[in-house]
C-alpha cells in the first residue's frame, strides 16, 4: 500500500510527530511504501534547521532525516506555513524540502491512504 502522511503539529508540543514517525517505521517494516510526508501548520517545526534538543532527549529532526535517507521518503514542508514560522527555502534540517500545498493534494491523489497526525 502506498501511504501519504500529513503532520500538523510540532515535534515537542504534541505527540503527533512521534506517532507519525513511529507509524511510518511500522508501515515500512510491514512492506508498505511511505510516498510522502507533508508538514503543515506547526508541523513545519519538525524541519527547524537550528533546533538542538538536549543529548538525553529524542532528536526528531534527525530521525525524520534518517527515515528520508534510508527509505527514500519525500519530506515536504509547506512553504507558507514555514515562512510564517521562520523556515524558508534552503533553510531546513537535512532530508526536508520546501514546496506548496499542491504536494499535499498530489499525495492525496497518488496514495492509497492519506493519514493525518495532529489537529
Grid cell locating 77: 514542508
> Which of 16, 78, 98, 114 is an active site residue?
78
Neighbours of 84 (CB within 10 A): 12
The DSSP string of 12-60 is SSSTHHHHHHHHHHHHHHTT-EEEEEEE-GGGGGGG-TT----TTS--H
Return the half-sphere exposure (C-beta side, CA atoms, 13 A cut-off) of residue 77: 31
Closest CA to 44 of 10, 94, 89: 10
Residue 24 bears catalytic tag:
no
Which residues are catalytically annotated? 78
Amino acid at each position: 500500500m502506498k501511504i501519504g502522511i500529513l503532520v500538523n503539529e510540532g515535534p515537542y508540543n504534541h505527540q503527533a510527530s512521534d506517532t507519525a514517525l513511529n507509524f511510518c517505521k511500522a508501515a515500512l517494516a510491514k512492506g508498505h511504501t511511505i510516498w510522502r510526508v507533508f508538514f503543515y501548520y506547526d508541523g513545519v517545526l519538525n524541519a527547524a534547521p537550528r533546533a538542538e534538543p538536549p543529548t538525553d532527549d529524542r532528536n526528531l529532526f534527525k530521525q525524520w532525516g534518517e527515515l528520508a535517507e534510508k527509505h527514500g521518503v519525500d519530506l515536504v514542508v509547506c512553504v507558507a506555513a514555514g515562512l510564517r514560522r521562520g523556515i524558508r527555502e534552503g533553510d531546513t534540517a537535512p532530508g526536508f524540502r520546501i514546496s506548496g500545498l499542491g504536494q499535499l493534494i498530489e499525495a492525496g491523489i497518488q496514495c492509497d491512504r492519506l493519514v493525518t497526525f495532529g489537529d
